[in-house]
Chain A
Amino acid sequence: MTAFTALLLRDIRLSLRIGGGALMGALFFLIVVTLMPFAIGPDLNLLARIGPAILWLGALLASLLALDRLFAMDQDDGSLDLLMMGRMPLELAVLAKALAHWITTGLPLVIVAPVLGLMLNVELRAMGWVTLTLLAGTPALTFIGLVGAALSVALRRGGLLLPVLILPLTVPVLIFGVAAANAAIVGPAPFGPPFTILCALSLASLVLGPIAAAAALRHGLE
């Protein structure tokens, strides 16, 4: 077993066991989506029209929720220092942690999204496509958030700072995610272009996020 998979499995195991926050994000997502109709009104036609937007906004906020735990706990118990001194490049270690974070907090959002979409009166035949946009887009949210998590742990007090830094950078993901989801439901714009750009955003942030996060950790903790 390589160091990469070992770290990946360790982080997944840690967040699934007691004290980990794996399902908190999905629970928060459920609550946010439940609150929306109270604010907007129970009109099913309106909810069907803005359903994808609610799902995307809920996923965005839910993915922020657990981000500050990404490095903070490792810093507290000193394992972050070990990772930085280890032979594995810090970029790869950070990537492994981010992947584990996405699997435990991003993936549950994608899995519960169809159920919530049902409650928001999103059409059944479009549900698969909307879920697909979340599957393609939530990694980008995690990898952009990774940079913010690294910056705030490097500064040692960044709990409130994190959303302020991260949310403006997630605008493109939100735009193309909702555009693709709307294209799948109402058309007439094709689904392909926004969806492929969304995939491109995820892939680009998969590369750039760990590099920036590793740089932030190195500069912050030296």
Chain B
Amino acid sequence: MAVIDLANPTRFLALVNRVLPWLVAATALVFAIGLYRAAYAPDDYQQGATVKIMFLHVPAAWLGMMGWVIMSAAALGTLVWRHPLADVAGKAVAPIGAAFTLICLITGALWGRPTWGTYWVWDARLTSVLILFLLYLGVMALYWTAEEPGRGARAAAILTLVGAVNIPIIKFSVDWWNTLHQPASVLRLGGATIDASILVPLLIMAGAFTLLFITLHLAAMRNEILRRRVRSMRLMQAQTMAEARS
């Protein structure tokens, strides 16, 4: 089935309904394996058991950023190709990306308390994730303000692309400003600096989070399509009632 066939919401809904149970099962399975492996991963020699927060923190951070990438792709789909599902995808992904970013911030604060001695420091990494979260809230606010779904989607698409240009600049400028967070240690040139006993559960958890993200995104897109149908049915009903009365 080509992407163009999915432009028909009914076909897309049929596909989602077929795929979603399998995705839910796969998510649960990979989460079970990942959490088991994470629970039995060795403690860090300095940080003790608190290092296990990492298994939630790092995948949430990755997916929080991936959410904006998906939103930018959807924005291009809305503005360039006018793909009817692109604005549904973009609208559905914003709260999910915001939620993952918030998980990253909260777990980071809980991890920072025992290791750094404080819940929050104005460090570069933390600050740029916080700004990413604020940008997500801005996009969501834009969707809330729009009276009509299509118009809001195009405005949000433009804001998303402006944000996509700006996020690397913000990241760079905040790095210049102040840094305390450890540098990248998994995805870097020359291989990971984490021992395999921790790296493997981390990657399984990242896979589980990705599956969860995809599952939630597809479900949210389905709900959004249904919500729009309900809206247009209500409008039609109101119109017929108004005509009947006059």
Contact = CB atoms under 8 A, between A and B. Distances in A.
Contacts, number: 80
Interface string A130-171: 000000000000000001000100111110010011011101
Interface string B163-174: 101100110111
A215 interface: yes
A175 B159 contact: no
Contacts of B145: 155, 157-158, 161
Contacts of A171: 131, 170, 173-174
A165 B141 CA distance: 9
B15 interface: no
Contacts of B79: 215, 219
A13 B219 CA distance: 53
A175 B177 contact: yes
A146 to B, nearest CB: 11
A154 B159 contact: no
A176 to B, nearest CB: 6
Interface residues of B, number: 29
Interface stretch (B4-12, B37-45, B148-156): B148-156
A151 B147 CA distance: 14
A151 B141 CA distance: 12
B137 interface: yes
A187 interface: no
Contact of A154 (B155, B162, B173): B155
B129 to A, nearest CB: 12
Nearest to A218: B154
A147 B137 contact: no
Contact of A216 (B137, B155, B170, B172): B155
B62 to A, nearest CB: 21
A201 interface: yes
Interface residues of A, number: 27
Contacts of B154: 154, 216, 219-220
B106 interface: no
B141 A161 contact: yes
Contact of A175 (B142, B163, B174): B174
B207 interface: no
A208 interface: yes
B180 interface: no
Contact of B147 (A156, A164, A167): A156
Which of A147, A179, A216 has the most C-beta atoms of chain B within 10 angstroms of its own C-beta?
A216
Interface of B: 79, 131, 134-135, 137-138, 141-142, 145-147, 151-152, 154-155, 158-159, 161-163, 165-166, 169-170, 172-174, 176-177
Given A147-B158, A151-B159, A208-B162, 20 more contacts: A151-B142, A155-B145, A155-B146, A155-B147, A156-B147, A158-B145, A164-B137, A165-B141, A167-B134, A168-B170, A171-B131, A172-B170, A175-B173, A175-B176, A176-B173, A179-B176, A212-B161, A215-B79, A219-B158, A220-B155
